[in-house]
Amino acid sequence: MSARRLALTVDLIAGAHPGLLADDATAMPLLGDAEVEAGLDTSLSAMPASIDAAAGPWVFGYGSLIWQPEFLVVEQRIGRVRGWHRRFCLLQRRFRGSADHPGLVLALVAGGICNGVVFRLPSGNLRDVLMPVWRREMRGNGYRARWVPVDTASGTVTALTFVANPACDRYTGRLDEPAIASLIASANGGLGPSAEYLRRTVLACAELGIHDRHLWSLQALVAERLRAGASGGLIARSA
């Protein structure tokens, strides 16, 4: 898969969403520090005993963590998780969407396989080392943390990753791809369009040699909807 073949271009996205929306803190309430920290403590207590904490923990990324990890990384590898696959299934009413036109972000859901990147963080106090990525991923209450085996070319490691939280009101269940594409195409937020999140994830995976049919199909569908809007049609929206 070549990045030059992407139908979802920067210009197409910018034409549909020329500016950022003002942030609306009421659109998606975030967990407070006490709740976030308690969740990390619970996850650390469930960490498999086989993990060598002194060597630095591993985190498995499959979406925006691949292209914007925002934490210190001392090693990274291409990795495969079995029993889970990436899917757009979490509404984003803030950041990459709004209350009126929520976008979607990726989560892991049960079944299949997922190829992504496993990052090794620095050694040290596990709570302190993991807190930056934990706070980023868990404040929106859309994820549950799991310790999962990740197969890499240099062996299997056990990593922390983030799977969909079906109890959260952001969880959509399994939408079909046309419905997903309509939500992504129409959404914009304080961090930019939902389509930009999709495009950057497809590009990051392509650069690593990771092909994901779900992502590849969606970028083409979203591009179709943005082109329709640019030519005077209406971008189909799903509630």
Mean pLDDT across the chain, nearest whole number? 92
| List of residues 6+ apart from 13 with CB closer than 8 A | 193, 195, 196, 199, 226
Report residue 55's pLDDT band, with 50, 70 and 90 as the boundaries: confident
| List of residues 6+ apart from 201 with CB closer than 8 A | 63, 64, 66, 67, 106, 215
Answer whether residue 7 shows pLDDT above 60: yes
Collapsing DSSP to helix, strand or coil, 26 comes out as coil
Domain 31-230 has CATH 3.10.129.10: no
Determine if the pTM surpasses 0.85.
yes
Closest CA to 61 of 117, 108, 122: 117
- Give the pLDDT confidence score for residue 235 in this predicted structure: 47
Query: Catalytic one among 35, 137, 177, 224?
Result: 137
Q: Is 137 known to be catalytic?
A: yes
Report residue 232's pLDDT band, with 50, 70 and 90 as the boundaries: low
- Give the pLDDT confidence score for residue 4 in this predicted structure: 56
CA–CA separation, 1 and 15 (whole Å): 25
Collapsing DSSP to helix, strand or coil, 235 comes out as coil
Answer whether residue 16 shows pLDDT above 60: yes
User: What sign does the CA torsion over 206, 207, 209, 210 have?
Assistant: negative
CA–CA separation, 151 and 153 (whole Å): 7
Q: Average the pLDDT over 154-176 and give the result.
A: 96
- Give the pLDDT confidence score for residue 231 in this predicted structure: 64
> Using one digit for the tens of pLDDT, what is the confidence trace for 17-36?
999 899 999 999 899 999 99
> Using one digit for the tens of pLDDT, what is the confidence trace for 123-160?
888 899 999 999 999 999 999 999 999 999 999 999 99
CA–CA separation, 171 and 162 (whole Å): 14
CA–CA separation, 80 and 37 (whole Å): 28
Collapsing DSSP to helix, strand or coil, 160 comes out as strand
Collapsing DSSP to helix, strand or coil, 239 comes out as coil
Strands 155-164 and 188-189: unpaired
The fraction of the chain above a pLDDT of 70, given in percent, is 94
